[in-house]
Amino acid sequence: MKLFTFILTLFVWLPMIGYNQPMLGTVAQSRSASAAPVEQGEFTESLDARKGESRFYLMSDSRIWLEGSSSLSSFACEAKGVMLDSVSKDDSEIQALVELPVAGLDCGRRKMNRDLRRAMKANDHPTISYRLEGIQAEPRLQTDDDHISVDVDGVLSVAGVPQRVIVQAIAQDLNEDTYRVVGSVPLQMTDYNVVPPRILRGLIRVRNEIVVQFDFTVSRGKSHNQQPAN
């Protein structure tokens, strides 16, 4: 019986080999054709848009995913149900909150989804959030007229633990009101009191470091006091 359980568990985890997606470098990579849909969220009171202010909306081809590895393989978990609440008074002052449900993380295998959600304490803390607090452009790293390197400063909350995180990203001006922002940030799960999952009494271990990758296309529109889309 123990041997059967061992084989069954390996059957669940071994197919994750080769499932990982390519890491994003300093230059934006091609977007997957099967990108997960991204939803628009309602504005919180702190981000309540007033007349004349601009709102940013995530386009449907936006993506965010996690990459990591275990003692057996590498893996990637696509985030579904991502929401962006954002308002801008002008180009120099932007308030934004990105939220994703832990239950929306899909690693391609039911058991791995369950183990990851349990490790991230999804029952007590069902949402991962990132609140933007500042953006610093790096003109010296500008590659051309349309791309510029930016440092995004904010607070990332995972499993109820907030940590300040600076994310390096590449911003691209697609047209007058549409922008693409691509970046990644490595994280240690234990920094958020998340114990990396182990199975088979520690024979298979998920490594502590994960990398959050994102590829957002955002569109700006004037509020004019209209209600945000659900």
CATH number of 2-21+36-222: 2.40.128.110
Q: What is the pLDDT of residue 63?
A: 93
Q: What is the pLDDT of residue 93?
A: 64
- At residue 142, the pLDDT reads 54
- Asked if residues 85 and 44 have their Cβ atoms less than 8 Å apart, the reply is yes
Q: Residues, the chain, total?
A: 230
* DSSP symbols for 158-170: ETTEEEEEEEEEE
| Predicted confidence pLDDT, tens digits, the chain (230 residues) | 443 333 333 333 443 433 333 333 333 333 333 333 333 333 333 334 344 567 788 888 899 999 999 888 899 999 999 988 876 655 556 778 899 999 999 998 888 899 899 999 999 999 999 998 888 776 555 555 678 888 889 999 999 999 999 998 998 888 878 889 999 999 999 999 999 988 766 678 889 999 999 999 988 774 433 333 33
Give the pLDDT of residue 144: 58
- pLDDT, residue 41, reads 38
User: What pLDDT score does 92 carry?
Assistant: 55
The pLDDT value recorded for residue 148 is: 85
Inter-CA distances, 65 with 107, 205, 212, 221, Å: 9, 20, 6, 26
Q: Is the separation of the CB atoms in 158 and 126 below 8 Å?
A: no
DSSP state of 92: T
What local confidence, expressed as pLDDT, does residue 207 receive?
92
- Measured CA to CA, the distance from residue 93 to residue 3 in angstroms comes to 59
Q: Where are the domains of the chain?
A: 2-21+36-222
Give pLDDT, residue 209.
96
pLDDT attached to residue 85: 82
